[in-house]
């Protein structure tokens, strides 16, 4: 009968040529671990999703920029239309006041602009000027069909071009916009005056040549 040595356990026999590592059981693969091929496919899917998000972001950014540009154009159009409507309204109002301003001008010419009527008239003219109304038309200025309306026509020997010789009714403008042309009487050079002047100019050198010939004799 064999006695067991206390504190020692018998080890199983290990076949010859085998190591202790081979004898130990291999650890089982962890549960849920994906193979390498599946991991690469997942990364490729994430990259594709990221590209789609970037594309969508660029499209939304372009849409926002286009919408902002359209809004700015809309604001400019509204402001331009608002200014145009205001100018038209002011022009219509001042056009209705032109006959009153004409009466004031005639009263001033005849010395009838006195007393309280004078104060009211000057106040009205001041308000019209603040609203941008400008009077134009002076005697002696060249006739311009874009701002003058000729109501009377005559000839004069002392003018070299068609000239406004009398202002029958002043013109008015607002900025560059003419709301009423100046109504004027015009005078043109006397027919044949330029021809006579030219002939006289030609004769002068002949006279000078005659004088020079006399001096030489």
Domain boundaries, the chain: 45-131, 134-203
Query: What's the pLDDT at 217?
Result: 46
Residue 7 φ/ψ region, left for φ over 0, alpha for ψ in the -120 to 50 degree band, beta for the rest: left
Q: What mean pLDDT is predicted for residues 54-60? A: 91
Q: Average of pLDDT values for 164-190? A: 93
pLDDT for res 136? 95
- By the 8 A CB rule, do 104 and 125 touch? yes
Task: Label residue 211 by pLDDT band (50, 70, 90).
Answer: low
Cα separation, 214 vs 30, in Å, equals: 139
Sign of CA dihedral 178, 179, 185, 190: positive
Confidence band, pLDDT 50/70/90 cuts, at residue 44: confident
Q: Judge whether residue 31 has pLDDT over 80.
A: no
**pLDDT tens, residue by residue, 70-122:** 999 999 999 999 988 988 999 999 999 999 999 999 999 899 888 889 999 99
Residue predicted with more confidence, 137 or 45: 137
Q: Is 10 a residue whose pLDDT tops 70? A: no
Residue 9: predicted pLDDT? 52
Task: Give yes or no for a contact between 137 and 170, defined as CB atoms under 8 angstroms apart.
Answer: yes
Give the list of residues 6+ apart from residue 187 with CB closer than 8 angstroms, or none: 153, 154, 155, 156, 159, 162, 163, 165
Interatomic CA distance for residues 90 and 143, integer angstroms: 28
List strand residue ranges (DSSP E) for 80-162, in order.
133-136, 148-156
pTM value surpassing 0.85: no
Say how many C-beta atoms besides its own lie within 10 A of residue 179's C-beta: 16
Measured between alpha carbons, how far is 169 from 102 in angstroms, rounded to an integer?
A: 8
Contact present, 167 and 203 (Cβ < 8 Å): no
| CATH T-level fold of 134-203 | Nucleotide Exchange Factor Grpe; Chain A, domain 2 (2.30.22)
- pLDDT of res. 1: 46
Residue 162 burial (10 A CB sphere; 0-12, 13-18, 19+): middle
Is the confidence at residue 11, as pLDDT, over 80? no
For residue 64, what pLDDT band results from cuts at 50, 70 and 90?
A: very high
* Short-list 92, 187, 205, 90, CA closest to 143: 187
């Amino acid at each position: 009968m064999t006695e067991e040595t206390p504190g020692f356990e018998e080890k199983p026999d290990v076949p010859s040529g085998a190591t202790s590592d081979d004898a130990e059981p291999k650890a089982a693969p962890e549960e849920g671990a994906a193979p390498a091929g599946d991991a690469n496919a997942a990364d490729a899917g994430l990259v594709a999703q990221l590209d789609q998000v970037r594309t969508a972001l660029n499209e939304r950014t372009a849409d926002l920029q286009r919408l902002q540009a359209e809004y700015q154009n809309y604001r400019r159009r509204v402001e331009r239309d608002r200014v145009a409507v205001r100018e038209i309204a002011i022009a219509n109002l001042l056009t209705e006041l032109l006959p009153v301003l004409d009466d004031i001008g005639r009263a001033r010419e005849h010395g009838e602009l006195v007393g309280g009527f004078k104060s009211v008239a000057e106040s009205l003219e001041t308000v019209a000027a603040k609203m941008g109304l400008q009077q134009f038309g002076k005697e002696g200025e060249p006739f311009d069909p874009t701002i003058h309306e000729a109501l009377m026509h005559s000839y004069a020997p002392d003018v070299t071009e068609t000239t406004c010789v009398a202002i029958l009714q002043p013109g008015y403008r607002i900025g560059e916009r003419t709301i009423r042309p100046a109504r004027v009487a015009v005078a043109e050079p006397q027919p044949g005056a330029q021809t006579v002047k030219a002939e006289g100019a030609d004769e002068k050198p002949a006279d000078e040549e005659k004088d020079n010939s006399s001096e030489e004799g």
